[in-house]
């Protein structure tokens, strides 16, 4: 619209100017037309009155002729009349005959083109008609017309011409704008199609003109860069959906190659009951990365850990997923049981896991585990290089299983953009300092272009650790670490869940969920529910939770028989001794508390140790009055966010450990220190008594936050930063090749 105005207005001004400039031409033309009219009119009058005139002149009837002329000049156009005899003497004239016109100089008007005279009376036209009878010239009839009307008419005509021109101009410009816009749109669509390799590009390929392909490629890059330059970057204006993510991938990272590396695979093939089944792990990480992979048809490299995984892959160890509608591929990496024991159970989960989670479980470091960890990291890095089809893919490395991989990939693919996300906490430098291979781990991670953590606290811990352990330049203004000539941006990206949850349509109503869960654990109608959902992990504070429940019944005995806490634990890493011991402790504590407090059909704790499918987990969230997350240390904790997402009825209370990343985003939960048993018991009491209005107020705020800060934002912000980094890298590349060698950073 503004474009149209910008175009039409100057055009109208130009047309107005032209219309003004042609005014004298209009004057001349109209005068010419009117003179011709008046001449015809004069000739007509002369012919009409010829006979009576001849008779009156021949009979010398001057008075009669005077009256005759007077009557004729009553016509408002005919201003004056006269008759001059053959000797050029005035015979008769009306009184209106102007002084400028006399019988003596009539000859100047005979045969004249214009016959115009400017007199005191204004513009006049003088027509002279000879009068003869029987071959004898009697004299000349003078007819003088008032031409002042021509000026009026000319003014009117000029006005009409002006309006006409402006109107026409407006119409023409409007048509031009419409046509231009239509063809621009067509052009843009055509160009976009070309960019996508459709339309124009296809015929080029078909007619085998490879020389045009570089042109199409350059054009494609140009348009993409222009598009991304002009896209608003104000995050407040973005609402994060899978579509936003797709738009970023299309516009900012169009055609870029995306490779994900994680230990857990998104689809696991298992032999079950003589058949091959595909299972999806209930993992926040998988749920977060799937939308990216689906949108960009990338490659996901993961450990092939399913019993039927080998049977499902092709000869390159690849399998297309999702099985129902393949959109990207999984490349499986194999390891021997010894390697898995050393890399996964050993160094990752007995070493790094307890090292990073301050949960008072002593880390175990074995040189043998470290060797396997390093070897498996190299194997995954090789798989990245194998899978890369370009020299500069975007590689998304997930978690503490791959601390060494970024450096190995960087050495092989120096132009790759490597984003590593550390899903667990990063401890303070003193705690990290006990790791025998601390330099190697840090150097490995600093092979990344971007290193992400859930909280600013972990970002600070990492930067402090590097400062303490390595000879690196740490810029605390930009949170950039430069090591070995290359920079790594250390940033905070709090992970979240899908919003709106794609399974929400399948959820039964809250009342139905309550009934089902109550039936399942044999809980009475009038008993309030508490729920905890975790992997059976010592970092989750499950023992502390049970102690808080027991304390509640001691401090507030009114809840005995009126409240049951349901704990769902999925078995995890159960080969590790500490996990086995932990499970025993959890079972024993639940047993002891139930043994002490249970009455009749009522038990204080219902413990279920088995894997629960996501639908079932959400049923628990929807059924409960209180959800209790009591992690002793947790990078984020997605159970808290899932519970909030599940409660579209805006009911239920969340009790949340202050040692989770989620506590920083959800202060409307009841925030507790899980080590403080009395405080946790008080929080349980408060939650069970909380009026529905207050529950609604708190839940609404939390739902608002999770909906906005969802997983698409987590992934989108990392990808946007990667895109910016790549653009900067290209600029530096261009300028360094054009001017002086510049150091390339963070690419
Ligand atoms: C944590 C880790 C993930 C891991 C998950 C499940 O959330 O950050 O990387 O996948 O636990 O653990 P598992 O050992 O079963 O993969």
CA angle in degrees (0–180, nearest 5) for 288-196-252:
45
d(CA 162, CA 8): 17
CA-424 nearest atom, ligand 1: 8
Q: Quote the tokens at residue 621.
A: 């969230």
Q: Ligand 1 centre from 282 Cα, in Å?
A: 10
Nearest to 722 by CA among 322, 256, 338: 256
- In this structure, which residue's CA is closest to atom 9 in ligand 1? 399
Q: Quote the tokens at residue 551.
A: 């304390």
Q: Ligand 1 centre from 275 Cα, in Å?
A: 27
d(CA 663, CA 523): 30
d(CA 112, CA 110): 5
Q: Which helix (H) or strand (E) holds 684?
A: helix 677-689
Q: Ligand 1 centre from 229 Cα, in Å?
A: 38
Residues paired with residue 133 on neighbouring β-strands, in sequence order: 136
Residues in the chain: 747
Residue 14: per-residue pLDDT: 72
Neighbours of 2 (CB within 10 A): 6
The answer, yes or no, to whether the previous bond of 500 is cis (omega within 30 of 0) is yes
* Mean pLDDT for back-to-back runs of 10 residues, the chain (747 residues): 58 69 78 83 85 88 88 84 89 88 79 71 86 87 86 78 77 74 58 46 45 59 54 62 82 88 96 92 76 86 97 97 94 98 98 96 98 98 97 97 98 97 98 98 98 98 98 96 97 94 93 98 97 97 98 98 97 96 98 98 97 93 98 96 98 98 98 98 98 98 96 92 90 67 43
Q: Quote the tokens at residue 231.
A: 């896209």
Query: Which sign does the torsion angle of CA 50, 55, 60, 66 carry?
Result: negative
Residue 182: per-residue pLDDT: 66
Q: Ligand 1 centre from 349 Cα, in Å?
A: 9
Does residue 536 have its Cβ closer than 6 Å to ligand 1? no
Q: Quote the tokens at residue 525.
A: 């109608």
CA-635 nearest atom, ligand 1: 8
Q: Ligand 1 centre from 248 Cα, in Å?
A: 28
Residue 28: per-residue pLDDT: 80
d(CA 571, CA 584): 12
How many helices and strands (H and E) does the chain possess? 26, 23
Q: Ligand 1 centre from 537 Cα, in Å?
A: 10
- In this structure, which residue's CA is closest to atom 2 in ligand 1? 423
Does residue 146 have its Cβ closer than 6 Å to ligand 1? no
**Backbone angles phi and psi of 476, in degrees to 5:** -80, -10
581, 584, 590, 594 alpha-carbon torsion, rounded to 10°: -140
**Backbone angles phi and psi of 533, in degrees to 5:** -130, 115
- In this structure, which residue's CA is closest to atom 11 in ligand 1? 283
Q: Ligand 1 centre from 316 Cα, in Å?
A: 26
Q: Three-state DSSP class for 447?
A: coil
Which residue out of 285, 349, 355, 642 has the highest number of ligand 1 atoms within 8 Å of its CB and is therefore the one to mutate? 285
Nearest to 497 by CA among 615, 356, 643, 384: 643
Q: Which helix (H) or strand (E) holds 491?
A: strand 486-492
Q: Ligand 1 centre from 424 Cα, in Å?
A: 9
Which residue out of 423, 611, 635, 660 has the highest number of ligand 1 atoms within 8 Å of its CB and is therefore the one to mutate? 423
Q: Quote the tokens at residue 622.
A: 């929807």
Q: Ligand 1 centre from 619 Cα, in Å?
A: 23
- Per-residue HEC secondary structure of 646-666 comes to HCCCCCCEEEEECCECHHHHC
- In this structure, which residue's CA is closest to atom 15 in ligand 1? 572
Residue 210: per-residue pLDDT: 60
């Amino acid at each position: 619209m503004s474009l149209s105005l910008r175009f039409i207005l100057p055009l109208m001004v130009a047309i107005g100017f032209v219309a003004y400039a042609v005014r004298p031409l209009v004057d001349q033309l109209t005068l010419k037309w009117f003179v011709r009219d008046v001449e015809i009119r004069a000739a007509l009058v002369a012919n009409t009155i010829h006979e009576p005139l001849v008779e009156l002149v021949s009979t010398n009837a001057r008075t009669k002729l005077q009256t005759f002329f007077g009557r004729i000049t009553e016509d408002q156009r005919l201003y004056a009349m006269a008759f001059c005899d053959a000797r050029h003497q005035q015979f008769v004239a009306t009184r209106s005959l102007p002084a400028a016109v006399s019988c003596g100089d009539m000859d100047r008007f005979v045969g004249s083109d214009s016959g115009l005279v400017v007199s005191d009376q204004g513009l006049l036209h003088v027509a002279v008609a000879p009068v003869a009878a029987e071959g004898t010239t009697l004299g000349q009839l003078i007819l003088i017309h008032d031409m002042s009307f021509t000026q009026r008419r000319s003014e009117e005509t000029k006005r009409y011409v002006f309006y006409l021109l402006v109107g026409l101009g407006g119409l023409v410009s409007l048509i031009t704008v419409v046509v231009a816009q239509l063809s621009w749109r067509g052009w843009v669509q055509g160009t976009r199609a070309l960019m996508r390799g459709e339309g124009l590009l296809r015929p080029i390929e078909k007619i085998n003109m490879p020389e045009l392909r570089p042109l199409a490629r350059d054009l494609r890059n140009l348009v993409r860069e222009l598009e991304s330059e002009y896209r608003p970057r104000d995050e407040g204006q973005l609402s994060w959906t899978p579509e936003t993510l797709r738009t970023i991938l299309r516009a900012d990272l169009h055609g870029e190659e995306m490779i994900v590396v994680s230990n857990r695979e998104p689809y696991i093939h298992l032999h079950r009951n003589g058949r091959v089944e595909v299972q999806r792990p209930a993992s926040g990480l998988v749920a977060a990365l799937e939308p990216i992979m689906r949108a960009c048809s990338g490659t996901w490299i993961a450990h092939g850990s399913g019993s039927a995984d080998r049977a499902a892959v092709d000869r390159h160890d690849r399998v297309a997923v999702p099985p129902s509608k393949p959109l990207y591929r999984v490349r499986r990496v194999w390891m021997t049981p010894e390697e898995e024991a050393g890399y996964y159970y050993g160094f990752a989960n007995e070493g790094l896991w307890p090292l990073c989670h301050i949960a008072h479980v002593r880390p175990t470091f074995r040189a043998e585990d470290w060797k396997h960890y390093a070897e498996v990291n190299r194997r995954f890095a090789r798989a990245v290089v194998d899978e890369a089809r370009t020299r500069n893919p975007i590689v998304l490395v997930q978690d503490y299983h791959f601390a060494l991989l970024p450096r190995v990939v960087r050495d092989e693919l120096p132009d790759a953009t490597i984003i590593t996300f550390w899903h667990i906490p990063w401890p303070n430098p003193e705690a990290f300092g006990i790791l025998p291979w601390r330099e190697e781990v840090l150097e490995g991670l600093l092979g990344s272009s971007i290193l992400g953590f859930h909280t600013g606290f972990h970002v600070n811990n990492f930067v402090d650790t590097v400062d303490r352990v390595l000879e690196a330049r740490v810029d605390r203004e930009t949170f950039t670490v430069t090591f070995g000539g290359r920079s790594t941006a250390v940033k905070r990206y709090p992970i979240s869940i899908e919003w709106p949850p794609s399974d929400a349509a399948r959820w039964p109503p809250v009342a139905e969920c309550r009934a089902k869960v109550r039936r399942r654990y044999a809980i009475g109608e009038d008993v309030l529910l508490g729920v905890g959902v975790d992997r059976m992990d010592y970092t989750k504070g499950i023992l502390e939770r049970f102690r808080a429940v027991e304390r509640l019944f001691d401090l507030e005995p009114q809840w005995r028989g009126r409240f049951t806490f349901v704990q769902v634990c999925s078995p995890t890493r159960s080969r590790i001794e500490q996990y086995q011991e932990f499970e025993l402790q959890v079972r024993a504590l639940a047993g002891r508390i139930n043994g002490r407090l249970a009455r009749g059909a009522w038990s204080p704790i219902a413990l279920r140790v088995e894997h629960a499918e996501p639908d079932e987990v959400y049923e628990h969230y929807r059924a409960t009055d209180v959800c209790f997350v009591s992690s002793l240390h947790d990078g984020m904790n997605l159970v808290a966010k899932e519970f909030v997402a599940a409660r579209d009825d805006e009911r239920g209370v969340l009790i949340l450990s202050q040692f989770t990343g989620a506590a920083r985003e959800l202060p409307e939960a009841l925030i507790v220190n899980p080590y403080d048993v009395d405080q946790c018991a008080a929080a349980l009491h408060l939650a069970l008594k909380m009026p529905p209005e207050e529950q609604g107020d708190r839940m609404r705020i939390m739902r608002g936050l999770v909906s906005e800060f969802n997983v698409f934002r987590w992934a989108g912000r990392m990808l946007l930063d990667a895109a910016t980094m790549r653009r900067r890298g290209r600029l530096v590349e261009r300028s360094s090749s054009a001017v002086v060698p510049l150091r390339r950073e963070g690419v």
